[in-house]
């Protein structure tokens, strides 16, 4: 039995107090911050993501788990920074131009963070130019675009075109949102499509490799 099992379970339950106290206990015991993230925190988010995909849990449970993860991460992050450990992959994420819906996008961002991606969240109503500038600034290798309106889906196409025009070699684009489909992703030349937040992590890993 893994010594991190209790911490995994606290994340799945969204029990932020237990998650924080166990994380602190491991830090105090001299455990490496990366080990705590990889064995203690990420597996918990993976479990909740799988349950979400199977409709065994819903948005509120995901948000509560993500909050526990975030609070536990805040204890580990300074140690990761001090040790010079950076996430292997960075994703720039946002809701496309003209669209103000951000609940789903926030869930995707949380799941990616939970899977140990570096996440730069540009918020809502993000222009193609802003996506391109952020990718360059943060040296990101992945872009996540969310849209909830049929009227803003074309902004995904414009953004994909802007990314290509900027010559951002090797930068992959994942799209998602209620009206978005795999067929649309293929049509506009996006590299991936995910129907939900947990699948977005799977697609991200398929595109850029493990974290």
Residues 123 and 120: their CA atoms lie apart, in Å, by: 9
Q: How far is the CB of 7 from ligand B1M (least distance, A)?
A: 25
Q: Indicate the residue among 121 and 196 with the shorter CB distance to ligand B1M.
A: 196
| Distance separating the N- and C-terminal Cα atoms of the chain | 24
Q: Indicate the residue among 20 and 172 with the shorter CB distance to ligand B1M.
A: 172
Residues 93 and 173: their CA atoms lie apart, in Å, by: 10
Q: How far is the CB of 119 from ligand B1M (least distance, A)?
A: 11
Q: Indicate the residue among 78 and 123 with the shorter CB distance to ligand B1M.
A: 123
The footprint of ligand B1M (CB under 6 A) covers 59, 98-105, 107-108, 144-146, 148-151, 174-179, 194, 196-197, 200
Residues 31 and 37: their CA atoms lie apart, in Å, by: 10
Q: How far is the CB of 47 from ligand B1M (least distance, A)?
A: 16
Q: Indicate the residue among 17 and 206 with the shorter CB distance to ligand B1M.
A: 206
Q: Indicate the residue among 179 and 209 with the shorter CB distance to ligand B1M.
A: 179
In degrees and rounded to multiples of 5, residue 126 shows phi and psi of: -95, 125
Q: How far is the CB of 178 from ligand B1M (least distance, A)?
A: 4
Q: Which residues fall within 8 angstroms of residue 67, CB to CB, at 6 or more apart?
A: 14, 16
Q: Indicate the residue among 51 and 101 with the shorter CB distance to ligand B1M.
A: 101
**Contact (Cβ atoms closer than 8 angstroms) between residue 99 and residue 92:** no
Q: How far is the CB of 164 from ligand B1M (least distance, A)?
A: 17
Q: How far is the CB of 169 from ligand B1M (least distance, A)?
A: 20
């Amino acid at each position: 039995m893994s010594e991190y099992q209790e911490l995994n379970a606290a994340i799945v339950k969204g029990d932020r107090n237990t998650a924080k106290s166990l994380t602190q206990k491991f830090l105090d015991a001299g455990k490496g911050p990366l080990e705590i993230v990889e064995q203690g925190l990420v597996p918990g988010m993976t479990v909740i993501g799988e349950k979400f995909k199977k409709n065994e849990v819903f948005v509120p449970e995901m948000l509560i788990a993500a909050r526990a993860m975030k609070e536990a991460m805040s204890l580990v992050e300074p140690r990761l920074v001090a040790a010079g450990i950076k996430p292997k992959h960075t994703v720039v994420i946002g809701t496309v131009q003209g669209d103000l819906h951000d609940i789903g996008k926030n869930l995707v961002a949380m799941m990616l963070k939970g899977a140990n991606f570096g996440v730069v969240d540009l918020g809502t109503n993000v222009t193609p130019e802003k996506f391109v500038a952020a990718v360059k600034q943060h040296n990101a290798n992945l872009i996540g675009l969310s849209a909830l309106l049929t009227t803003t889906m074309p902004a995904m196409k414009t953004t994909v075109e802007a990314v290509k025009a900027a010559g951002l070699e090797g930068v992959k684009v994942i799209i998602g949102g209620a009206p978005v489909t795999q067929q649309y992703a293929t049509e506009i030349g996006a590299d991936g499509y995910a129907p939900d937040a947990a699948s977005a992590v799977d697609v991200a890993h398929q595109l850029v490799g493990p974290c």
